Amino acid sequence: MISSTPTFARDIDGKAISAKVLDEVREEVLALAGQQIYPALAVLLVGDDPASHVYVRNKLLRAKEVGIRSLEYRLPETASQAQVLELIAQLNADPTVNGILVQLPLPAPIDEQAVIHAIDPIKDVDGFHRENVGGLVQGIEVLTPCTPSGCMRLLHETCGDDLSGLHAVVIGRSNIVGKPMATLLLQANCSVSVVHSRSVDAPALCRLADIVVAAVGRPALIDASWLKPGAVVIDVGINRITSEFGNRLVGDVDYASARTVASAITPVPGGVGPMTIAYLLKNTLIASRLQRAAQARGQQPEDDLALN
């Protein structure tokens, strides 16, 4: 007898997988402590954006939980770009600081790109510096943006270590998620398509995909009609909407619709979000290791651009 019970996609539990990553970080921090090495992350917050305060608090809390020393620097909304750059220069020069994160967005008229590119690339745990972006494309070991790195871990946990030959579609081409995500998927030997606002018949392109990564910032844009049966869906979107049920967070994927076709899907919240912080802390450890390797070769970290 054929069951009439509908089959739904299984949830990809970002909370559980991020906990595994944090356990890995905690174990490495303990091992480093035995060698008298204590990785440290500096977080700079400028202004009084409420969401930024929440994000910074969560990052510092997770850092404390895994044993990474955290340093918080706060500047007022009225801080000048020169003041921000001066503080970054001090942190760049401090050998006890391994990672530097500037919480975005920054108040106007501070130039975010100027601030990002002032961070020493080997301390840029966000992975946004142009040298890290270029190194990622070239396949050099560099600090990689946290959200795409976390998405790759979700995919490996769901699909296995070998993604070779799978067709992946990335929806969105931002510098923070879309472009580095496509690069990481290429490095994993996927065939990759990037769908964006100028793509012709985006749903048809997505229906070819074994893996769909949605990072476009439009609530519930992707529904079942966009998906190949059995596709694995990674929803990076976080959109706050108001409905008859009040304010709530939704992704770029229509979860209720997509899960009737997909084989696995990340919920929002509880999917990609926890992975971003976990990989920020993992990047802090990677930064510490790369800096020690550079110092062992008798080089200044900022001059060591070919890290492997």
CA–CA distance, 186 with 138 (Å, rounded to integer):
11
CA–CA distance, 208 with 190 (Å, rounded to integer):
13
Of the candidates 65, 49, 155, the one whose C-alpha atom is nearest the C-alpha of residue 102 is 49
CA–CA distance, 251 with 96 (Å, rounded to integer):
38
CA–CA distance, 81 with 17 (Å, rounded to integer):
38
- Give the residue carrying structure tokens 């919920």: 267
CA–CA distance, 20 with 284 (Å, rounded to integer):
17
Task: Estimate to the nearest angstrom the gap between the alpha carbon of 286 and the chain centroid.
Answer: 15
What the block records as the tokens of 226 is 């966009």
- Residues labelled catalytic: 59, 103, 126
Q: Contact 294/300 with Cβ under 8 angstroms?
A: yes
Of the candidates 119, 108, 116, the one whose C-alpha atom is nearest the C-alpha of residue 77 is 108
